[in-house]
Copies of this chain bind each other. A is one copy, B any other.
Amino acid sequence: MNHPYALTSALKRPLPDALAERLRARFGDRFSTALAVREHHGRDESPFPVTPPDAVVFAESTEDVVEAVLACREHRFPIIPFGVGSSLEGHLLAVQGGLTIDVSRMNRVLEIAGEDLLCTVQAGVTRKQLNAEIKDTGLFFPVDPGADASLGGMAATRASGTTTVRYGTMRENVLALTVVTAEGKVIRTGTRARKSSAGYDLTRLFVGSEGTLGIVTEVTLRLYPVPEAMTAAVCHFPTLADAVAAVIETIQLGVPVARCDFVDDVMIRAINAHSKTTLPEAPTVFFEFHGSTASAREQAETVQEVSRTHGGRDFEWADRPEDRTRLWNARHNAYFAALQIRPGCRAVTTDTCVPISRLAESIEGARAILDRAPCPTAIVGHVGDGNFHAILLIDPENPAEIELAEQLNDEIVRLALSMGGTCTGEHGIGLHKIGYLVEEAGDDAVDLMRRIKLALDPDGIMNPGKIFRA
């Protein structure tokens, strides 16, 4: 049988000599065709096999990106943007070959406008780097997908994460972008104003476009005043259903929780092993409350009360920063903890998001489906948004196991779609969910997306093979 993740490359053609010469002349040793460099740029956190590009350019400025795009355009050669390689759906894989433009050296915070609660960064700045650089301003950037992703990549995949329930996703937090178009033009989407009704929302069009319409080189982001008080709490529940019920009630009451994440018992066991914690191995919800001292306390008390009515026990508080960090680090390391359950494994990760009223049913349905898995599985999720991840720890060398895992993945996605949900809450379409996008949005809506792609990238050189089937 064919390997389930074998990537077709019928459209792949070799790097034209003239293009290589032009790029080498322009970029010197910032242009590379070395196998190790190409392989590093041909893998992400998805279970797909390494699929390297033909060459890599390390861009240091928007002008570098323009030059690389103009060169590739002349040869109709594919272009793939690369931040830190933390995507989960094969976004970076060179399925038709191509030139990877690595923006990780574009790592300068260009401006911090504290009075305007905004900043502008180059696309390669990571979220942790940004928060470290602004920590003396009394401001922070809240979007937190777990991985220390680049902010350009987070914009490109419309990332979100643990704090979305309060602060929104990249959609709400990107004010403006600098983008290099498929024709090598530099455009600025949006202004420094907080809102605008000026024409089509190009910012929101590029946010989530996965590198298929242009390359994000600078990102203007909203910042928020660090709240006077931040309190973390963790609570254990008798069953998955109880935990989810407590979260649903919290959201429906309108409590402005800042974070609200679910972790199942399997994952807690992995976290304990990985992070040397001693959390009870039960369905668990991690909370965080932001506000004035009184308001954060009041939120926490309301949630504690709600949790108690659903059998929640051991509501553990953490007011001090170091305790809060310890609690949430355990949650943040869950993905890497899970990978250690089975040495050598890769993770197939679902990413469905459903309306909150269907959340319990959706997670319990996923659990029942996962019980048929041929490999270890776990569930974690940003349940305050209706978003959760089933993680299947597959042996990447075992095609039969992969096929079964993908079949279970498929059942979980279909369950979410049947409930009015989406196939991807925050990871994007990439290579993995091209078919589901059509099922979810319908042929006519995907046809509009394809027309937009064709209008903005007439030669089809921007990250081809992603979002749409080539």
Contacts and interface: CB of A to CB of B under 8 A. Distances in A.
B356 A115 contact: yes
Interface string A340-383: 00000000000101111100000000000000000000000000
Interface stretch (A101-109, A315-323, A440-448): A440-448
Copies of this chain per assembly: 2
Interface stretch (A49-57, A257-265, A399-407, A415-423): A415-423
A202 B355 contact: no
Interface stretch (A166-174, A232-240, A269-277): A166-174
A97 interface: no
Interface residues of A, number: 90
Interface in A237-282: 248, 251-254
Contacts of A357: 113, 115-116
Interface stretch (A11-19, A37-45, A287-295, A303-311): A287-295
A235 to B, nearest CB: 21
B429 A199 contact: yes
A324 interface: no
A195 B353 contact: yes
Interface of A: 113-118, 157-160, 164, 168-169, 171-172, 181, 185-189, 191-202, 204-205, 207-209, 213, 224-225, 227, 248, 251-254, 291-292, 294-295, 298, 351, 353-357, 385-387, 419-429, 433, 436-437, 440-442, 444-446, 448-449, 451-456, 467
30 contacts: A113-B357, A115-B248, A115-B252, A115-B355, A116-B356, A117-B252, A118-B355, A160-B195, A172-B172, A188-B441, A188-B442, A188-B445, A191-B440, A193-B354, A193-B420, A194-B353, A194-B355, A194-B356, A194-B386, A195-B353, A195-B426, A196-B425, A197-B208, A198-B436, A201-B204, A201-B205, A201-B208, A204-B204, A292-B295, A295-B298
Given A159-B197, A187-B448, 8 more contacts: A158-B197, A158-B201, A188-B441, A192-B419, A193-B353, A197-B427, A198-B437, A452-B452
